[in-house]
């Protein structure tokens, strides 16, 4: 009877070892069927709230579209995207195409179509609620470099004739607004008066999509 118990215990140990080996083998196969791509990211100039919104959008998009795992590093200056694809070259092409098509771009243009700023120059987008007599507005707060560009371009435009002094704000080729510039903007803040508060919130969410960062592949 004692001999049988020893055999049973030994069989259980062998079974556990076999299961462990199987699990490790499966994990290795699963890992080998995925590739990890590392990118540098240029969204550090945005404030924490805006950057968190951008990150959530990226993570949600890639989880749904590719089943990818998205991991951020180095204070969001780098990101690791692990996708269920074996072929490295094809994976790079697929992921880069996916990253490019996911993002929208805010562009600030002169009347002749010259792009003078983009969404990367914006630090934060917020909504100011108006009271009964005032209308709500979407306020764009620019980065330090963006504030300099905004100051330079508004100085130039404020000296132009009517019709030529507009600063077009567009996204994905569609004009959102084209206000006239009558004076330089020196404080790094620009407002789009929109009227209803709910409309202003919708415009804010729409514009935040235009802050999608540029990804640069880091070669291992």
Q: In the chain, where are the structural domains located?
A: 33-102, 106-208
The two structure tokens encoding residue 105: 């771009």
* Ordered per-residue pLDDT tens for the chain, 220 residues: 544 444 455 555 454 454 444 444 433 334 457 788 888 887 766 777 777 877 887 787 777 767 888 888 887 888 888 888 778 888 788 777 777 655 667 899 999 999 999 888 898 888 888 766 578 889 999 999 999 999 999 999 999 998 899 999 998 788 988 989 999 999 999 988 887 888 888 888 778 877 777 788 887 5
Token pair 């804010």 is found at 204
pLDDT of residue 168: 94
pTM of the model: 0.63
Specify which residues 167 forms β-bridges with: none
CATH code of 106-208, in short, is: 3.30.1360.200
């Amino acid at each position: 009877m004692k001999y049988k118990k020893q055999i049973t215990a030994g069989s259980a140990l062998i079974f556990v070892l076999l299961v462990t080996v199987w699990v490790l083998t499966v994990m290795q196969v699963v890992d080998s069927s995925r590739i990890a791509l590392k990118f540098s990211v240029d969204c550090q100039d945005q404030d924490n709230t805006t950057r968190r919104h951008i990150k959530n959008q990226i993570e949600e998009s890639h989880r749904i579209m590719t089943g990818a795992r998205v991991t951020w590093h180095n204070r969001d200056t780098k990101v690791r995207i692990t996708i269920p694809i074996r072929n490295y070259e094809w994976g790079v092409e697929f992921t880069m195409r996916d990253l490019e098509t996911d993002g929208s771009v805010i562009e600030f243009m002169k009347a002749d179509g010259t792009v003078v700023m983009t969404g990367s120059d914006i630090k934060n987008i917020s909504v100011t609620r108006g009271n009964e007599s005032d209308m709500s507005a979407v306020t764009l707060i620019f980065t330090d470099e963006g504030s300099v560009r905004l100051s330079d371009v508004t100085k130039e435009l404020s000296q132009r004739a009517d019709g030529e002094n507009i600063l077009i704000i567009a996204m994905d080729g569609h004009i959102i607004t084209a206000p006239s510039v009558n004076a330089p903007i020196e404080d790094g803040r620009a407002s789009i008066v929109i009227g209803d508060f709910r409309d202003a919130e919708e415009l804010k969410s729409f514009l935040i999509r235009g802050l999608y960062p540029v990804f640069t592949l880091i070669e291992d």
